[in-house]
Amino acid sequence: MHDQNPVFIPGPTNIPDRIRRAMNTPTLDHRSPDFAGVLKPVLDDLKKVFKTAAGEILIFPASGTGGWEASVTNTLSPGDKVLVARYGMFSHRWIELCQRHGLDVEIIECTWGTGAPADRFASRLAEDSRHSIKAVLATHNETATGVRSDIAEVRKAIDASSHPAMFYVDCVSSLASMDFKMDEWGVDIALSGTQKGFMLATGMAIVAASEKAIEATRQASCPRCYFDFGEMLAATKKGSFPYTPTVQLIHGLRASLDMLFEEGLDHVFARHFRIAEGIRRAIAAWDMRLCAESPDLYSDTVSAIYVPDGFDSDELTNHAYNTYRVSFGIGLGEMAGKAFRIGHLGSMTDVMALSGVAAIEMAMKDLGYPVEPGTGVAAAQRYYRETVQTN
């Protein structure tokens, strides 16, 4: 029965029984009117989560990385200059993908634990009088460091110089868990996936594209086939796909959207903050610190925690799994061996969060950490008791 423990990784996340049952469907002809009746409302409802009225929704059988590739190849050409800051593993991987596609990537190096540097973006864009920069890329929630960037401030930085660059945002580990305002923030491409806030298995990249981004596809010359925006939009407007879709995942996404709307998006965001804050109280009680350098950067979906000097975070996460069969996130990139991560997004409650805090406390005590079992649990309990909401 060991497989019944929840996971505390920042994705894939725990899948509710309701969503698993929704995916347990017989084969459906994806060329049939019945499939169109499922697909079209899903695409319309996804706009509500991205908070876009004019944006187009495209879903590709892929992970979030496929969303990166689709976004880049459909809107840019080899040699185009893009401006991006590197402040974590996923902004780093997006940079590498752009470089492999022959883009001229200008990188702003940042300390890991900080967020998207709006002021440095503003300075660089102001210098670009010839408008050679075609796109600005930002990661909303950096999963490796537990940092949420201020996307509205980055948009202000672009607007301050009246720069025409498009604005792309990776919201893979934030969408459907923390508020995202595509239209208000002037985002041209926002990309996500099914395996985090949507509480599904990995398998679909979800991209929202503005009218400006769709227009850019007409000039872009990066090779694309499987991820072609034009072919996908032409097909989905008819309620179909240009190739075989992930029908069961689309049924699961329907159930996920229903659950999010029934709870209410504002309540979903408040729940994620409350669960995250309880875990942050536990971390403070352990006398440990987050990788995020200041409270305004704290993520409500994942906390990355530095282990004390002399300890190996990989040994801790391995011990937690091998001994207690509970998964926590390992340290990635510059955080490898230095930090572990507690994912607290998607299908998560305060009671589930408490079980994760208790499990990692046991693992830390086993390995000689200066942590007394129960201190973090008690701190989180106090916060959850003080903030409990009854219906």
119-135 pLDDT, tens digit per residue, is 999 999 999 999 999 99
As a whole number of angstroms, the distance between CA 87 and CA 190 comes to 19
What pLDDT is stored for residue 42 in this prediction? 98
151-174 pLDDT, tens digit per residue, is 999 999 999 999 999 999 999 999
As a whole number of angstroms, the distance between CA 223 and CA 300 comes to 37
- Which pTM value belongs to this model? 0.96
CA neighbor of 210 nearest in space, from 96, 57, 35: 57
For 117, 283, 309, 361, 368, the CA distances from 365, given in Å and listed in that order, are: 38, 14, 15, 6, 5
Assess contact for 199 and 50: CB atoms under 8 A: no
What is the enclosing helix (H) or strand (E) of 383? helix 375-387
What pLDDT is stored for residue 391 in this prediction? 53
Helix (H, G, I), strand (E, B) or coil at 195: coil
51-86 pLDDT, tens digit per residue, is 999 999 999 999 999 999 999 999 999 999 999 999
What pLDDT is stored for residue 389 in this prediction? 74
What pLDDT is stored for residue 273 in this prediction? 98
What pLDDT is stored for residue 29 in this prediction? 87
80-113 pLDDT, tens digit per residue, is 999 999 999 999 999 999 999 999 999 999 999 9
What pLDDT is stored for residue 390 in this prediction? 63
- State the architecture of 17-261 in CATH terms: 3-Layer(aba) Sandwich (3.40)
Q: Is the pLDDT of residue 336 over 70?
A: yes
What pLDDT is stored for residue 2 in this prediction? 55
What pLDDT is stored for residue 207 in this prediction? 98
What pLDDT is stored for residue 4 in this prediction? 81
- How high is the mean pLDDT of the chain? 96
Instruction: CATH 3.90.1150.10 in the chain: give the residue spans.
Output: 2-12+264-387
As a whole number of angstroms, the distance between CA 127 and CA 129 comes to 6
Mean pLDDT of 234-238: 95
12-30 pLDDT, tens digit per residue, is 999 999 999 999 999 888 8
- State the architecture of 2-12+264-387 in CATH terms: Alpha-Beta Complex (3.90)
Angle value at C-alpha 205, between 202 and 206, nearest 5 degrees: 125
Percent of the chain having pLDDT more than 90? 96
β strands within 179-253, DSSP E? 189-193, 203-209
Mean pLDDT of 144-155: 98
Q: Is the pLDDT of residue 199 over 80?
A: yes
Instruction: CATH 3.40.640.10 in the chain: give the residue spans.
Output: 17-261
277-329 pLDDT, tens digit per residue, is 999 999 999 999 999 999 999 999 999 999 999 999 999 999 999 999 999 99
What pLDDT is stored for residue 243 in this prediction? 95
